[in-house]
Structure 1
């Protein structure tokens, strides 16, 4: 089997392959840019996760992948095993400081539970149930992003250095801004705006 046969499906068309690889590349670049100021290990892991998740989402929607993964002899056990081996949340928890194991477990547990529900449902209801699960999954991962984004920001090398003294003329206004930021660290948007100075904003 070729690499495309393994990553997408046997007999995938050129258009399907181009679309899947393009989505995977965009995902890898986006994730890599998000983690660009982190350690090399974090950058590599986050980039690979982005490649797999973006590309995999498109692969699962192709006709060739549907034919391959639902070919004769495949049943719910195979589908659940496929979902279960995708342990990216735990990989992120392992290498990204601040991305907790409980967050990883919540994401992984929800996806696995959703897969059980979908594969157990009647054929006519599987698609709408899968879409419903996707909506709730987006809500959960959006909440988890609030843990991942600051975690990546906090792993910047600059965070490991001693703070610089305030520039002349900043005085108490600068100190008050730093104090307010420390007191209210939940504003990811302000952190990205103030600290990253116009870098790519996370979706």
Structure 2
């Protein structure tokens, strides 16, 4: 039996969407192994990823990658004729820059806003409001850049677009409501364009855009949300 490339993740995991979308785009075969940290992790999985995070990639040859950016870059590089990694050195550097910005500053701020509303983290109104403002500050960087551009890098679709849209899909599904989206029209239009692509819909057939943002959590609720980290 021929071994396949495997991606250990859970359905809709924001850090996995872009990886799977670009895999679809470049024709790279990946078998998804449903892995939800909330359900518990096997000793076998913890040998692959000692921090117990998702996603984790294992190649058909046995190579293990545990960082989402590294996985995404590896998958995108599988088709030498693809433009997913840009057409030159500076395109490549800019792709990594946008991915890093989104995977660190945007996700960190967005998580500090959303996770308390889901009951995953302690809820403090002032802290949530601060995180909301800090998220807007980070998203404004995208908004200003996209004011006169269709894509993040070199005016063509690259890994940066798919990876970053996957990450911020969590925000659009939970708190980036109609009123919020009106403040960031270029960012929102870019998101809608990328999520409408066939390669993205192959992974997420029905992207969610919330009409009304989450409010304060019910103290009695027990949350079932799982974060990538």
Identify whether the pair has TM-score above 0.5, normalized to the shorter chain: no
Higher relative contact order (CA 8 A, sep 6+): 2
| Structure with higher strand content | 2
Task: Give the structure with the larger helix fraction.
Answer: 1
Q: Larger Cα Rg: Structure 1 or Structure 2?
A: 1
